[in-house]
Structure 1
Amino acid sequence: MFSPSNVEAEEKRSIEAYCQEHQIDGLLQELVEGLLRDRPKTTAKVHFAHIIRLKLMKDEPCSEYEEVVKAAEVPGHLLKNLFEATKKITAEIVPRETIRLIIQETLKLLSCDRVSLFIFDRRINMLVLNASNLEQPSRVQPGQGIAGSVFKTGQTVNIPDCYQDARFEQTFDDQTGYRTNNLCTMPIIDFEGECMGVLQAINKLDAGSGGFTSVDE
């Protein structure tokens, strides 16, 4: 029987299980849960999104689909179109306060000097860079530099000595006078296996540190 509360409870369990399975914890788990769980909780027409998203998350057929269509009194193909549109819109929206919190907490958690958060904006096909040392965000193309490469490959890149690594682009350091000694760049993956952004920690602060460790990753 269709029940908004039951759907939300099952979705919550699925999200938590996914985060545990893929070792997503702490700050990134809050981001993932926030993006996927925050939805209006009013009518049956809205709650179809919870059910369909839950089934897609599990790669299972949505047996409740017909019941949700009936409850919402909207043709099935329109519900599918609406759901796809909702996914695209919500995937592009990350509240500014959330970005600020992620950067602030990552600085403390990883004990580093700077943090950059790249969020992919599908409207312009660019990574929007928000950094702890920038007042305004800037843009990076997918594939550009280390962050763009991590976005395309979905693989973490941990560089203990940037100036000894050919992948490191020194232009920013040359322009600002800041020296990037080491960095750790990690992809942010959504429930469909797509990269939605990149988190980059710069210059580990621990005394005598040779850079970021596997624990930091």
Structure 2
Amino acid sequence: MGDYASSYSKLADFGRELLYKTSLVDGLPHISKYAKEIIGAKRCSIFMYDEQKNELWTTLADGVERIILDSSKGIVGETIKRRESILENDTYSNPVFLTNIDLDTGYKTHNVITAPIFNSNREILGVLELLNKDGGFDEADLKFMKFFSHYISGFLELVNLYEKK
């Protein structure tokens, strides 16, 4: 279990730095670095949700090219469907886990934690996903993911609106 008391105090510094990011390209690596550092995960992906196309696509996926998938597929799709976070410490035993993404990327996913990212109208903007924490994810990680996804939602909503203009 992580020491989240000190992590929350670092959140103020993170938030101030995020204020100076004006695009997804600038902001997402900052979000990813912070989330991985605090929770201790090896990789981070941020999937944006396109409801009209029924797709999820990565704006950021460590170590791989852009990933596009049907929004009803995989653990991230399940996150959209349930509208809640998912913690899975044995991905290959989960029937919704997409093993083909591991095959395509050459990266083996052992455990995963996700959190939906909502806009101000409680519509899903996307999903924050962390992969491969040594020893697995726990309830404290889940609590932090929910909090953190809410924290970054305003930035993602504003930048998304700005970039669509």
For the Cα contact (< 8 Å) 1:103–1:131, is it kept in 2?
no
Q: TM-score, normalised by structure 1?
A: 0.52
Shift of 1:215: 0.8
The structure that has the greater radius of gyration is 1
1:187-206 CA-partner distances (Å, limit 9, x unpaired): 1112211111101100003x
Query: What does 1:8-157 align with in structure 2 at a 5 Å threshold?
Result: 26=11, 30=15, 95-121=24-50, 124-129=53-58, 130-134=60-64, 136-157=65-86
Shift of 1:124: 4.4
For the Cα contact (< 8 Å) 2:73–2:98, is it kept in 1?
no
Is it true that 1:214 corresponds to 2:139 in the alignment?
Answer: yes
Q: Partners in 1 of 2:78 and 2:24 — Cα distance? A: 25
Normalized per residue, the structure richer in strand is 2
The counterpart of 2:114, out of the listed 164, 168, 185, is 185
Q: Partners in 1 of 2:120 and 2:72 — Cα distance? A: 22
Structure 1 residue runs of 4 or more that deviate by more than 6 Å after TM superposition: none
Shift of 1:170: 1.0
Distance 1:204 1:171, change over 3 A: same
Distance 1:145 1:174, change over 3 A: same
Distance 1:212 1:194, change over 3 A: same
* SS across alignment from 2:127: strand
Structure 1: state its 5+ residue gaps.
Answer: 1-24, 35-92
Structure 2: state its 5+ residue gaps.
Answer: 1-9, 143-165
Q: Partners in 2 of 1:212 and 1:178 — Cα distance? A: 18
Q: TM-score, normalised by structure 2?
A: 0.66
For the Cα contact (< 8 Å) 1:131–1:137, is it kept in 2?
yes
Is it true that 1:158 corresponds to 2:83 in the alignment?
Answer: no
Distance 1:197 1:168, change over 3 A: same
Shift of 1:114: 0.8
Q: Partners in 1 of 2:52 and 2:95 — Cα distance? A: 31
Q: Percent identity?
A: 26
Q: Report the count of equivalent residues.
A: 128
Q: CA RMSD in A?
A: 2.8
